[in-house]
Amino acid sequence: MRYAPMDKQHPPLVAIVGPTAVGKTEVAVRLALALNGEIISADSRQVYRHMDIGTAKPSPQERQQVPHHLIDILNPDEELTLADYQQRACAAIDEVHARGKLPLLVGGTGQYVRAVIEGWSVPHVPPQPALRADLETFADVYGATVLHTRLAAVDPIAAASIDQRNVRRVVRALEVYLVSGVPISALQTRRPPPYRILQIGLTRPRSSLYARIDTRVDRMIAEGLVEEIRRLLEAGYGWGLSAMHSLGYAQFRGYLQGTMTLEEAARAVKRETRRFVRQQYTWFRLDDAAIRWFDLDSIPFEEILTFVRCWLDTLP
């Protein structure tokens, strides 16, 4: 089926969101195959080359079946700001529309998805490595809570929306303020994007999701995750890089440095992934009326496909 939107000003965009390990990739690939779509990744770690296993990238077979965008676009020592991601994602969406196909925005990075579908005006403040290092050192010495208090003093709105344990986001908000003199919350205005948007949320009962997380972590280790991390370190990508702080990588530092066992590292990944899932549900709330949720433990794929097809049929 070739998709050709009649409304050139507001062509459709389907966003598929949900927590890590829920099954977004499988559903997205099947939808793309059925609806002649292409996938735009909204995952802040799949952008990095050489980090395949730990980021649970789509398999080579899945990427052969369906074109994927914004995967493997940076080396691990490069940075991608939210503004950069938003610009690249919107360009990819427009290119997919130009080919007469349906774009599927797929991922669990809440900021990435919201920036696109809500049309955030994102501050164009490039990374400041020295300033970031100072702020991260401050957090190491005095604690993440104290760093968060510094942010609250200059931008209480941003501080209220950022978990104090998320040092990377706190540092970015302070970085924007200290460089521009303007709170990041004041710069993050919104303009509705030129798309008709359908948000599909994928979920599972928490016990089922946690079991899938445990299975996936064990499978990643069996597939060579530790060896992948060793290759990154041997290539010169050190633990100080933002990419190496990623979930599924940072937790193996102790094992590779001989201070914990492999089993302890695996448990740490599973524990932190569960915490991350809870954080993701603050971005994609089950009571959000804008998201149509599907429980993958009880609802077959065909029902999701029928729902999306019916929505497409209602478009002008």
Please write the tens of the pLDDT for every residue from 30-51.
999 999 999 999 999 999 999 9
Task: Place 2 in a pLDDT band, splitting at 50, 70 and 90.
Answer: very low
Residue 186 backbone dihedrals phi, psi, to 5 degrees: -75, -25
Backbone φ and ψ of 231, nearest 5°: -65, -40
pLDDT at 8: 61
Residues 49, 61: Cα–Cα separation, whole Å:
17
What kind of fold does domain 12-122+192-206+286-313 have according to CATH? Rossmann fold (3.40.50)
pLDDT, averaged across the chain: 93
Q: Check pLDDT > 80 for residue 242.
A: yes
Domain boundaries, the chain: 12-122+192-206+286-313, 129-187, 207-279
Alpha-carbon Rg for the chain in angstroms: 20
> Is the pLDDT reported for residue 55 higher than 60?
yes
| Cβ-contact 85, 70 below 8 angstroms | yes
CA 44 remoteness from chain centre: 4
pLDDT the model gives residue 6? 44
Asked if residue 240 has pLDDT above 80, the reply is yes
In this structure, what is the dihedral angle of CA atoms 177, 183, 187, 188, given to the nearest 10 degrees? 110
pLDDT above 80 for 165:
yes
Confidence of residue 316 (pLDDT cuts 50, 70, 90): confident
The predicted structure's pLDDT at residue 5? 44
Q: Is 26's pLDDT higher than 90?
A: yes
Is residue 128 pLDDT above 90, yes or no?
no
Residue type, 39: I
What pLDDT band is residue 7 in, cutting at 50, 70 and 90?
low
> Average pLDDT of 268-290?
94
For the cut 90, the answer to whether the pLDDT of residue 308 exceeds it is yes
Domain 207-279 adopts which CATH fold? Helix Hairpins (1.10.287)
Look at residue 3 and tell me whether its pLDDT is greater than 50. Answer: no
Give me 291's structure tokens.
């998201």
H-helix or E-strand spanning residue 275: helix 262-283
More confident site: 5 or 94: 94
Strand order in the sheet with 291-295: 68-69, 37-41, 102-106, 12-17, 196-203, 291-295
Asked if 291 and 114 count as a contact pair (C-beta separation under 8 A), the reply is no
**For residue 131, which of 171, 169, 94 has the smallest C-alpha distance?**
171
- Grouping H, G, I as helix, E, B as strand and the rest as coil, residue 303 is helix
Q: What is the mean pLDDT of residues 278-303?
A: 95
**Residue given tokens 């398999």 in the structure block:** 59
CATH number listed for the domain at residues 129-187: 1.10.20.140
Q: How confident is the model at residue 185 (pLDDT cuts 50, 70, 90)?
A: confident
- Please report, rounded to a whole number, the percentage of residues in the chain having pLDDT higher than 70: 97
Whole-angstrom distance, CA of residue 244 vs CA of residue 240 = 7
Q: Is the predicted pLDDT of residue 125 greater than 70, yes or no?
A: yes
**φ, ψ at 115 (rounded to 5°):** -60, -35
Distance between CA atoms of 177 and 66, rounded to whole angstroms?
Answer: 40
> What does DSSP say about strands 120-121 and 189-190: parallel, antiparallel, or unpaired?
antiparallel
